[in-house]
Structure 1
């Protein structure tokens, strides 16, 4: 028992989340996007780190017979 009240609360919260549209701070979004695009060195470093974690990184050497 008591499920009706909890379900009503969940329905109310879900409806608020669905139809609530906050004002978007476009200038803050623009600053954030500019900051992420302004450092290509950081992106290159993270790409190199990703290559180290690759399970198939040595596959090319293996397939060429340079095991």
Structure 2
């Protein structure tokens, strides 16, 4: 028990996010959905991930 208060806070936050009138950066959203990396640093991280697989 005791989940009611936590759930109420989550519901309140979800409503704020859903109905907030913040501006939408459509270009950034399109890039994210297309999977375009933001910088070259992201590709370096991918290389490190492959090295980690060898250790398992």
TM bin, normalised by shorter chain, reads 0.3 to 0.5
TM-score w.r.t. structure 1 length? Answer: 0.36
TM-score w.r.t. structure 2 length? Answer: 0.40
Larger radius of gyration: 1
